[in-house]
Structure 1
Amino acid sequence: MTRQLEPVRLQATTLGDLLLSAADQAPDHAAVVLPHRRCSYADVRDRALQKALSLQALGVGPGDHVGLLLPTSMDFIETLFGIALLGAVAVPVNARYQPPELAYVVDNADLKVLLTTDKIAEAVDFVERLNQAFPDLRNSEARNLSLDGAPGLRHIVVFGSSRPPGTWSQEEFEAAARQGNLAEIHLRRLQVRLGSTALILYTSGTTANPKGCMISHEAIVRNSAALADRYELTADDSFWSPLPLFHIAAILPLTAIFAKGGTYVTTPYFEAGEALRMMEAERVTATYPCFWTIMSDLVSHPDFEKTDLSRIKLMNANFAVQPGGIAEKMKAALPNAVFVGTFGMTETAGTVTTSQLDDAEEKRFTRLGTPLAGMEVRAVDPETGEDVPAGEKGEAWIRGYSTFSRYYKAPEKTAEALDGAGWFHSGDLISIDPDGQLMFHGRLRDMLKVGGENVAAAEIESCLQQHPAVKLAQVVGVPDERLVEIPAAFIELQPGQAAQADDLIAFCRERIAGFKVPRHVRFVDEWPISSTKIQKFRLQDQIRAELGI
């Protein structure tokens, strides 16, 4: 059962005031540490206010949508809070998106301003991707932007040393702050409601395009504070997160440690050797690797056993849903750590359930914990809407302060996911033990989980079916030791047309993010069909048998 709730008190504020309060309490305390850069809370506050002034000068006001197409960086963190201080809405954009995906999100999210960088991160040239997404950008005026594919976009800002056509340079953007009004910013900040939207985070669903989850200030701040309380974090803690900041599982630990006035430790991109060096040098006490791919890279790195990780007291390891073999290595390397499991998603602003620190190790290693204070979870028979017996599998229905408000511009999808009583029908298959411990068993819907990223089969199928030789594409998930699951595509070709597997893979690589690209392609002349639908489970059985899985 969950712990007694009587002593729990609400911790709710806006995202902007979360930063200001931390800076009030300990302005000189380290807030963020990146390789070769360390910023205090006063530094982050001052830089966030400067970015708010610049955005204000570009016409951004309460409720406007501002996109962040940036790698993990101080620019990202400062702008995220600057947007919140204005009462505007931050829209982090997945840095892996290919030009068609990027064009869709910029337009669908109704971005007024988009901020990016001219720095090449993990071989990604963001400016070039924008030019491919919007071919008329090169011939546009920065101060009178008018793009065919994104009519609402008024400004693109490029951090760095260059000024590509159609954009504002960093120098111009920062100079614009002189035109801002600080008193006006604080007035707007104090008018922001806890229920106002702070973030729109795009996540893949069962449709061809990702959906924008509208997350309120209350949802992200209270969820983070509740997580920090569950993990007993304090201002003395350093919380390491390797995930990119466009991901909810990176924003969550950032705001969780800010709620306690501690230090957030991260890198622009994950590299195991650098991560190990930072964890040792920064005396990290809590870690949030979450996914098998990251932990696998850490334990297999030659420096892993030589690195002093003894100060780590907490790791969100999710051993219950990881491949075997890693738990013992982690236990040996982190002798003082408590390993916890966690269940959450974008639609819930992060965590729904996580382990109690005093749960028995067997529970923490084989289950994903109990709900945070104020959150409810049921395992429901989706056909009847009734709870299934304890220990049996059902769909996760979730209710509480941190569930998303709605999907942006998708009322039909919102109605499918949120019912009149406030329950979010997640599409995840779970079981709940008699003592309230949750376990995840997969997805009811047609989704894949590739290296921690949600991927809709429909999105890959839609891409493949744009190829002139493809008549019909069906995508299934195949187990993978490193990524947990990878896409495999079955293709029926148009009569008289020909294509090779490599052709179709290359076609996808130009249009969708690399983690969505099928790793296997098989051609079929006949589909396994029930009375009305293609039986994907038979396709999955076929490819598993062929691969010896």
Structure 2
Amino acid sequence: MTASLSYAHGTSATPLLGETIGDNLRRTVEAHGDREALVVRSQGYRATWRELWQATTDVARGLIASGVKRGDRVGVWSPNRHEWVVLQYAAARAGAILVNINPAYRTTELDYALRKCGVGVLFLARGFRQANYVAMLAEVRPNLPDLRLALTFEDDWAALLDAGRGVDEAVLAERERSLQFDDPVNIQYTSGTTGFPKGATLSHHNILNNGYFTGEALGYGPDDRVCIPVPFYHCFGMVLGNLACTTHGATMVIPGEAFDPIAVLETVQAERCTSLYGVPTMFIAELDHPRFAEFDVSSLRTGIMAGSPCPVEIMRRVISQMHMREVTIVYGMTETSPGSTQSARTDSIERRVSTVGRVEPHVEVKVVDPATGAVVPRGTSGELCTRGYSVMLGYWDDEAATKAAIDAAGWMHTGDLATMDAESYVNIVGRIKDTIIRGGENISPREVEEFLHTHPAVSEAQVIGVPSEKYGEEVMAWIRVRAGATVTPEELTSFCAGKIATYKIPRHWKLVDEFPMTVTGKVQKYRMRELSTAELGLGKAAQIKMA
């Protein structure tokens, strides 16, 4: 492979961790036992590493008492709370496979997720926001022959701990000795845009190392306190958040059950957090909140922005106004545990706002021609592929989907369009299916979004393609206007004129208060297309191939 081709390997003198999650946690407890491990402000919960270890021991014994065997699937359906964290490590120590259920799921999705991977024991909150989880589970339970036990955190947690006291710790120790780091430990359902989600099956080796090397890149140590407002059910929360902390002795600090900008700002101030996570929309909500200036966030130094492209102006404000001079960008997907590339704390602001960094340690990436699979020259757009320890074991009980995603050489095909420059920095320029093709011209939504963010009245812009009889597709922009500002579609069109190519200027505009989003804060562009297509009376979108 010549240096002129889009291929990079994350060479590293730091070896991969060859241990289970439980073994790694034990080492951290031995090194930092009396230091604070977990803080959940919404529950008033605090635990040292030694206390957290005992809690995971008690729950692991409770799982064994409940009949959970090695390889059994244990589900968790809940927003962020301390029991979720304890269960994450307890299940790993008991040899179970934790199945993360999206808190936004409703009955059809819940039924599918639990049935697909044969969950035998389910932990759930009574409910979340307006959703009554207990009632929803009761509705679908007759369809779940494998589900033999459902325990609510509020009502059944203490009884589980009581049951565990009847299991000798030697039994748990023997279970832990039987585990291998390549064993599956977690199933996460990916939010596909069509059909039912697929269960990405991840091993101890996958997620422990991804959390570890993410923490290494962030410079974590036992003095760090990491504010984690992103959900645990997703890799962002439980891997880049929890596992990055536990592999380094850093403190996990959880503001509340779900994201709230004031709760985050209060938590950073009160707990003197040194790191903060979020998707761009979360950082925008914090920065734009009328009370932002009231809070002292000067303890921050680093963090992660991920989940969707970061507008340049938002990154600059995070660095200057939130003191996060070492903030990094992480790019990845659930199927790769999740991180594949990350910017460095020492990268220039220009690098951090214009790329997603370079390949992570012990991982390979390449950019290929989607039509031929050939590696493209550097600077040329193509599909980003990744290979290494981080690639999932496969989709649970779906061999066909696994083969479609991971090729014979072990490369995971991301579906993302990227370029790689001469210094191996990767830039995500769009998704294969997100690229807008208007009259034969390829348009990157990201490029148009970045330009629209330079308008003083635009707080956030999301660009999509909608059907057009004349051009195949037309550009449409959904705009969230900054608080106190006003702007019209006509003014936005005039702003674009002469500054970007005419064919890139949105033909349709929609001013909104919010975007359709997943629980993790990702904008659902497929849903935006559906809504816009219906509202504009354009009929079903044509199947458009890449040029």
TM-score under structure 1 normalisation? 0.78
Tell me the SS of whatever aligns to 1:428.
Answer: strand
1:522 equivalent in structure 2: 534
Q: 1:87 to 1:318 in 2, by over 3 A?
A: closer
Tell me the SS of whatever aligns to 1:202.
Answer: strand
Tell me the SS of whatever aligns to 1:200.
Answer: strand
1:41 equivalent in structure 2: 49
Aligned AA for 1:277? E
Offset of 1:174 from its aligned partner? 2.7
| Residue 195 of structure 1 pairs with residue 207 of structure 2 | no
| Residue 374 of structure 1 pairs with residue 362 of structure 2 | yes
Q: Aligned to 2:99, which of 88, 91, 96?
A: 91
Q: Check conservation: 2:10, 2:362, Cα contact below 8 A.
A: no
| Residue 283 of structure 1 pairs with residue 272 of structure 2 | yes
Q: Check conservation: 2:9, 2:359, Cα contact below 8 A.
A: no
1:504 equivalent in structure 2: none
Offset of 1:94 from its aligned partner? 0.3
Q: 1:444 to 1:94 in 2, by over 3 A?
A: same
Offset of 1:111 from its aligned partner? 0.4
2:144 equivalent in structure 1: 150
1:464 equivalent in structure 2: none
1:72 equivalent in structure 2: 80
Offset of 1:536 from its aligned partner? 5.5
Unaligned runs of 5+ in 1: 135-146, 162-168, 450-456, 458-474, 484-508, 539-549
In 1, Cα distance between equivalents of 2:307 and 2:523:
26
In 1, Cα distance between equivalents of 2:161 and 2:477:
48
Q: Check conservation: 1:293, 1:482, Cα contact below 8 A.
A: no
Moved over 4 A (4+): 1-4, 445-449, 475-479, 513-521, 523-529
1:144 equivalent in structure 2: none
1:468 equivalent in structure 2: none
Q: 1:477 to 1:281 in 2, by over 3 A?
A: farther
2:120 equivalent in structure 1: 112
RMSD: 3.0
> Which shifted more, 99-108 or 206-215?
206-215
Q: 1:525 to 1:258 in 2, by over 3 A?
A: closer
| Residue 128 of structure 1 pairs with residue 115 of structure 2 | no
Q: Check conservation: 1:367, 1:437, Cα contact below 8 A.
A: yes
In 2, Cα distance between equivalents of 1:447 and 1:223:
29
1:386 equivalent in structure 2: 374
Q: 1:4 to 1:110 in 2, by over 3 A?
A: closer
Q: Check conservation: 1:428, 1:443, Cα contact below 8 A.
A: yes
Unaligned runs of 5+ in 2: 437-444, 446-463, 465-472, 482-517
In 1, Cα distance between equivalents of 2:537 and 2:480:
32
Offset of 1:319 from its aligned partner? 11
In 1, Cα distance between equivalents of 2:475 and 2:267:
35
**Mapping of 1:126-275 within 5 angstroms?**
126-134=133-141, 147=142, 149-161=143-155, 169-205=156-192, 207-252=194-239, 253-266=241-254, 267-275=256-264
Aligned AA for 2:144? A
Q: Check conservation: 1:319, 1:327, Cα contact below 8 A.
A: no
In 1, Cα distance between equivalents of 2:10 and 2:407:
28
Aligned AA for 1:41? W
Q: 1:525 to 1:232 in 2, by over 3 A?
A: closer
Q: Check conservation: 2:64, 2:94, Cα contact below 8 A.
A: yes
1:141 equivalent in structure 2: none
In 2, Cα distance between equivalents of 1:314 and 1:222:
20
Q: Check conservation: 1:27, 1:41, Cα contact below 8 A.
A: yes
In 2, Cα distance between equivalents of 1:58 and 1:346:
30
Q: 1:269 to 1:405 in 2, by over 3 A?
A: same
Tell me the SS of whatever aligns to 1:131.
Answer: helix
In 1, Cα distance between equivalents of 2:293 and 2:303:
17
Offset of 1:322 from its aligned partner? 2.3
Aligned AA for 2:273? V
Residues 246-279 of structure 1: CA deviation (Å, up to 9, x unaligned): 0111112210111011101112211111110110
Q: 1:535 to 1:274 in 2, by over 3 A?
A: same
Aligned AA for 2:146? G
In 2, Cα distance between equivalents of 1:320 and 1:214:
23
TM-score under structure 2 normalisation? 0.78
Q: Check conservation: 2:227, 2:252, Cα contact below 8 A.
A: yes
Tell me the SS of whatever aligns to 1:160.
Answer: helix
Aligned AA for 1:12? G
Aligned AA for 1:314? T
- Aligned residue pairs: how many? 460
Q: Check conservation: 2:95, 2:175, Cα contact below 8 A.
A: yes
Q: Check conservation: 1:309, 1:334, Cα contact below 8 A.
A: yes
1:496 equivalent in structure 2: none
Q: 1:171 to 1:221 in 2, by over 3 A?
A: closer
Q: 1:393 to 1:20 in 2, by over 3 A?
A: same
> Which shifted more, 125-134 or 359-368?
125-134
